[in-house]
Amino acid sequence: MKSIPALSLLLLIIANNCFAKELLPDLKVERIEDGIYLHTSFEEITGWGVVASNGLVVLDNKDAYIIDTPISTKDTEALVTWIREQGFIVKGSISTHFHDDSAAGISYLNSVSIPTHASKLTNELIHKNGQQQAKYSFDSTSHWLVQDKIEVFYPGAGHTRDNVVVWMPNQKILFGGCFVKSRSLGNLSDAVVESWPTSAENLLSRYGTARLVVQGHGKVGDVSLLTKTLNLAIEGVAPNTAPQATANASTD
């Protein structure tokens, strides 16, 4: 059997990699409520395979706000195109933490003069990673992106030190992002596991009336996702006491 020349082998590898990228699903956008759209983007993550990441588009009349950018510049551009094709105006974005599945599209949005927002801590962590920061930042536990319509809240550290959530009070919809989990705590590389239970209790106490809860990865659910997050966080901190803690949490 003849050996494959080095150049041919390199071209074959490049072609295979390009083909693999083409197999990634396209950006998905679906309506989950009047004026609320779920966007889902896909990326292959080392150690995790193809990961689906969720965000929202929230409307205030014709004004559109992006809650977490898609996981790539390409999909962020596609989302902006989709929003404009619907006749909406992109008025801004909020990134709920510094990871790519929340903030990867900031540089593109900045380049097309769409206002980008993040907490001061998120911006610091983005800068530390050598990425482009959001143009606007805030340094408070609660912040209104749109007064009385889109609230940003910091429950405390958990998935990351900087994770915030976004609340739409009129619809009683909570975007929990990567703070909210349904099966496992997931990627713990930047997690503050010891703080997660207390932070989850803060979230459940504040938004226990939520009708819909959107997690960063996984299906849209109801307020029980907040209890699941609390239980998982307790198990992560103290596995030996998790059964009793879980029973107590379920009655809150």
Q: Find the catalytic residue in 97, 117, 143, 217.
A: 97
For residue range 203-216, list pLDDT tens digits in order. 999 999 999 999 99
Reading the block at residue 201, the tokens are: 């209790």
For residue range 56-86, list pLDDT tens digits in order. 999 999 999 999 999 999 999 999 999 999 9
For strands 36-45 and 28-33, give the pairing: antiparallel
Q: How confident is the model at residue 5 (pLDDT cuts 50, 70, 90)?
A: low
The domain that holds 118 is classified in CATH as 3.60.15.10
This prediction's pTM? 0.86
Full domain range(s) for residue 166 = 25-130+138-250
Task: Identify whether 39 is a catalytic site residue.
Answer: no
Task: Identify whether 187 is a catalytic site residue.
Answer: yes
Beta bridge partners of 64: 59, 90
Does the pLDDT value for residue 12 go beyond 60? no
Would you state the pLDDT for residue 239?
59
The radius of gyration of the chain from alpha carbons, rounded to an integer in Å, stands at: 19
C-alpha torsion 89→134→176→161, nearest 10: 180
Task: Identify whether 101 is a catalytic site residue.
Answer: yes
Give the whole-angstrom CA distance, residue 190 versus residue 30: 30
Nearest to 44 by CA among 94, 125, 100, 95: 100
Give the whole-angstrom CA distance, residue 221 versus residue 218: 9
Domain count, the chain: 1
Q: Find the catalytic residue in 39, 117, 143, 159.
A: 159
Q: Residue 72 domain-assigned?
A: yes
Q: Find the catalytic residue in 60, 63, 100, 187.
A: 187
Task: Identify whether 222 is a catalytic site residue.
Answer: no
Q: Residue 8 domain-assigned?
A: no
Q: Residue 13 domain-assigned?
A: no
